[in-house]
Amino acid sequence: MIRLFRYLKPFTVPIIFVLGLVFIQALTDLYLPTLMSDIIDKGVMQGDTGFIWRTGGIMLLVAGGGAVCAIISSFLSSRTAVGFGRILRNKVFRRVESYSLHEFDKIGTATLITRTTNDITQVQMVMVMMLSLMLRAPTTAIGGLILALREDRQLTVILAVAIPVLAAFIIIVAQRVIPLFRQIQSKIDKINLVLREKLTGIRVIRAFNTVEREGKRFDAANNDLTTTYIKVNKIMAFIFPAIMIIMNLTSLAILWFGIIRVNNGMDIGALIAFTQYAMQIMFSMLMLSMMFIMIPRSQAAAVRINEVLDTVPEITDAKELKDVFTGKGHIEFKNVTFSYHGAEEPAIRNITFSANPGEITAVIGSTGSGKSTLVNLIPRFYDVDSGNIEIDGVDVREISQECLRAKIGFVPQQAILFSGTITDNILFGNDNAADDEVRYAAEVAQAMEFISSLDGGFDHEIAQGGTNVSGGQKQRISIARALVRRPEIYIFDDSFSALDFKTDARLRAALKKEIAESTVIIVA
């Protein structure tokens, strides 16, 4: 978790200010019992009403100052923790954006979501607690112990017994709770994975009438998480009554032996002040116990966050880039071999061919023959094991990923649409495209017919994943998204499979004019 603190640099001044306010608040807590002791010994016992009013007024001012410090420090610590969480989420998101497809496959989408949301929230919550208690609890405990010693050294022997007992109890509980907190994080991953599969695959689940079976699978993951939470909550529920028993027994012992000390000449005010100091010490131990119990959970979350941040993408830009081109989209494969991680055999082996501007290159083969794998190597979604892929005479590994992909209009095998309007989805290919260009791209993609029939036309809202349009409509919007980009290279990865024969024929005829000067690769 300490490694994440490097992202707290922008909040250095607020943190110092918060710690200062917390320190002042701790001092006010320690000063109040002294004032109360004076009121009893010098005011009540001597009948000095004026002294009671004066000292009482000072107590109100001190208590009010402490309250103001507490409010301001809570506000600033909350803002700091929220800002810290925002920075962490941005860092994690940016790192995940840079991942190659292999990193996504290795880590998993469900756990990436959990780490970006739940895990960062855990760290954020502990950050608030640390800012509030990290300085206040030790200051109150040490200051209270010193002041208690000043009031009466003999009664302090009771604290010398109670504090180690309380500390031992907290350590034993922490040893039981920490492993459970680590289990919770992984079980949240599992339940997110199952839930994500259920939501994305709901049509298949209903089509095969497996709702009940999938419900049982979710219940198993849910009950597993619930059981672990119940174990944690049982331990946590036991902590507070046990600590309160120790604190009450300590108070009882102080009063019992304190009365004996009063009979031997100790002031009543001093006994009350000593009791208050003892309670402050015990409450500080309680606050520290809560912090030490919560920190391991955030530590487990921080380890998972650091795993994401420390994962170095396999595909990165070369140190010396060659982003200046003389050609216009010429592609050449030179003896290319590629295999997926863990695969026994290469997906493609010793592939050599060239695709030139103005030509259509068809990649045809049976299912699983490596067609999609081949075209995924061009935009460098994966890197080749051996051989070279060159665009305009430059190896794709020597071109920046941004520049490389700016030259390509890619229509994937599975058409993906994003939540937003149809215009938003087409503009995904080119943010600077004018309305006329968006409309023209839709016309070429044969999408105008169904767009004009929708409520709002181009302003029609697309649901997440494009679930409110058909497969053919998704494909045509995806094709329009590639066309509006006006790239040098078009890659159509089985992009016409959901179209009927007439629409397919019209689309191919319209595409001929648009892609006449581009390099076109079609997978079928």
List the chain domain ranges: 2-310, 331-523
Give me the pLDDT at residue 352, please.
93
Give me the pLDDT at residue 335, please.
93
Give me the pLDDT at residue 370, please.
87
Give me the pLDDT at residue 317, please.
84
Give me the pLDDT at residue 334, please.
92
In terms of CATH architecture, what is 2-310?
A: Up-down Bundle (1.20)
- Residue written as tokens 């017994």? 161
Cβ partners under 8 Å of residue 219, min gap 6: none
Q: How far is CA 468 from CA 417, 446, 454, 460, 506, in A?
A: 10, 18, 11, 10, 24
Cα–Cα distance for residue pair 128/123, rounded to 1 Å: 9
CATH topology of domain 331-523: Rossmann fold (3.40.50)
Give me the pLDDT at residue 337, please.
94
Specify whether the CB–CB gap between 43 and 49 falls below 8 A.
yes
Give me the pLDDT at residue 333, please.
93
Give me the pLDDT at residue 435, please.
87
Give me the pLDDT at residue 273, please.
82
Positions of the chain with pLDDT lower than 70, given as ranges: 1
Cα–Cα distance for residue pair 14/280, rounded to 1 Å: 27
Specify whether the CB–CB gap between 121 and 85 falls below 8 A.
yes
Written as six digits, the tokens of 412 are 């994937």
- The pairing of strands 519-523 and 408-411 is unpaired
Cα–Cα distance for residue pair 108/416, rounded to 1 Å: 19
Within 11-154, residue ranges assigned H as helices are: 12-38, 49-97, 101-107, 109-114, 120-133, 136-151
For 351, the enclosing helix (H) or strand (E) is strand 348-355
